[in-house]
Chains A and B, each alone.
Chain A
């Protein structure tokens, strides 16, 4: 820990299906010290738990074989440490998989596995109150299959202090994957709230990958002209005072500007004075974002004491969604699509009336499917339209019946009804509760390749 040095940390993944080529490019050309890889959206972990039930050796990021074969070896060659929550529902299994896969060509590498996020037993023992329903967990409709607490940066700091080159956890909070290495490198105490707030701000800008380098932004002609080819993950060059420069790799598409950073700063936050993570209640209200030499300087974040309890996401199996779609084109497409909608509605609403389905929606894709009744009434009559019906049922057969009712419009519906599609999928609903930190037994286990 040299006084005054700069730490470069890059994003290597922002969700379970993100493009590993961008992680490779970051390692090749980013001149980084750390690569942080987030694999988990709200539902990902519950789905991973279901996979692990079928095969106890699975349950981690499905990209792990490729990560172990390509990303981690390149990181080691470049002296880059990798921190990730790719362990998902099985961090131990993920650690063992990586150790085994890399043993031959990279012996002696230290891999830290962080455990303790799985709090299913706590949920069963304590039966806590669920945020969304106000009732107890046991009163939730459906089988509870997962309960995972969001862990913070502390175990990452201790794993790095213990010489880990690869850190693998389960439900470690996205920003903590970045906050951990920064706290370790700069010697920031994990109870130095302003420092944790500054680190969390940098993390928040990086954690969604290409969303800060031009993704979800182009709106011609209102936005600057830039290419959507060859995106780059972002990286931050962080100074000991906690200010940082956010950059993207050279010779890539996308855009790094104060606006792309401002939009990302506001992404998925609620009160900007209290952005809650396991590490801190971060205050982004006075953050400044200034363009400088192709990058953006971020400063001004601070923080207050972290929340006393950890957030827990609870995965519950809740029946099925049945979905059917048919398409219409040419003159009168709108009238025929509306006739089809009214027809199938009379049939499917009977299932709603007798309680076989609990919720249904009838959308005309191309007209009002996205903003519903809030759609401004300025749109011209479209040349083509798609009728989509989606319904929730506890019984898969009923869900299939709804999907089939839509398909049958192709036989006995308006002229030219075509292009049927149908789908029945199980629902894994996510609910929120909280757990005292003292009830979570977080632990670091060190493996060697």
Chain B
């Protein structure tokens, strides 16, 4: 089972900081995300793309976890050489993380 099977993801950017919010489809999926989608797991998956710290914030009101990644966008939209300078496709990368 992948993140994609139990949640929807959306990625955003502010400068060189990327955030990916992962919203559970059902309340029980939120508990799974809390247990399995840890900072370590995400760091392992995103390692080649993120130079800085990764933090996870919990949003119990909507059943979501938000990952905030520093130094993650090649200097940010304005400087990046990447084909996806906003990193919006990072949501799809998050979706490929195995949950079980």
Contact = CB atoms under 8 A, between A and B. Distances in A.
B81 A222 contact: no
B83 interface: yes
Nearest to B4: A222
A271 B81 CA distance: 28
Interface in A211-256: 216-217, 219, 222-223
Interface stretch (A62-70, A284-292, A441-449): A284-292
B57 to A, nearest CB: 5
A300 B60 CA distance: 12
B99 interface: no
B95 to A, nearest CB: 8
Interface stretch (A178-186, A342-350, A356-364): A356-364
A406 to B, nearest CB: 14
A430 interface: yes
Contacts of B62: 262, 265-266, 287-289
Nearest to B20: A266
Interface residues of B, number: 43
B83 A374 contact: no
A132 B78 contact: no
A268 interface: yes
B15 A370 contact: no
A42 B8 CA distance: 26
A268 B61 contact: no
A269 B23 CA distance: 14
Contacts of B75: 429
B15 A432 contact: yes
Contacts of B19: 266, 268-270
A429 to B, nearest CB: 5
B36 interface: no
B68 to A, nearest CB: 5
Interface in A401-440: 427-430, 432
Interface in B15-57: 15-17, 19, 21, 23, 25, 45-49, 57
B57 A427 contact: no
Contact of A429 (B57, B61, B79): B79
Nearest to A287: B61
Contacts of A43: 77-78
A43 B14 CA distance: 11
B9 to A, nearest CB: 8
Contact of A284 (B8, B16, B59, B81): B59
A376 interface: yes
A388 interface: yes
Contacts of B90: 371
B8 A217 contact: yes
Contacts of A361: 81-82
Contacts of B83: 363, 365, 369-370, 388
B89 A370 contact: yes
Contacts of A128: none
A359 B93 contact: no
Contacts of A371: 49, 89-90, 93
Contacts of B5: 222
A286 B64 contact: no
A217 B68 CA distance: 20
Nearest to A371: B93
A391 B81 contact: yes
Given A372-B49, A374-B48, A272 B14 contact: no
A270 B8 contact: no
A288 B61 CA distance: 6
A274 to B, nearest CB: 10
A374 B49 contact: yes
Given A42-B15, A132-B16, A262-B23, A428 B78 contact: yes
Which of B8, B62, B88: most chain A Cβ within 10 A? Answer: B62
A262 B64 contact: yes
Contacts of A165: none
A427 B64 CA distance: 36
Nearest to B88: A216
A33 B63 CA distance: 33
A366 B77 CA distance: 21
B14 A268 contact: yes
4 closest cross-chain pairs (CB), A and B: A266-B21, A268-B12, A373-B48, A390-B81
Given A42-B77, A374-B45, 9 more contacts: A42-B14, A42-B78, A262-B23, A265-B59, A266-B64, A271-B68, A272-B66, A371-B89, A392-B81
22 contacts: A42-B78, A216-B88, A259-B25, A262-B8, A262-B62, A263-B10, A263-B23, A266-B21, A266-B23, A267-B12, A270-B66, A286-B61, A289-B62, A321-B81, A361-B81, A369-B83, A370-B84, A370-B89, A371-B90, A371-B93, A374-B47, A390-B82
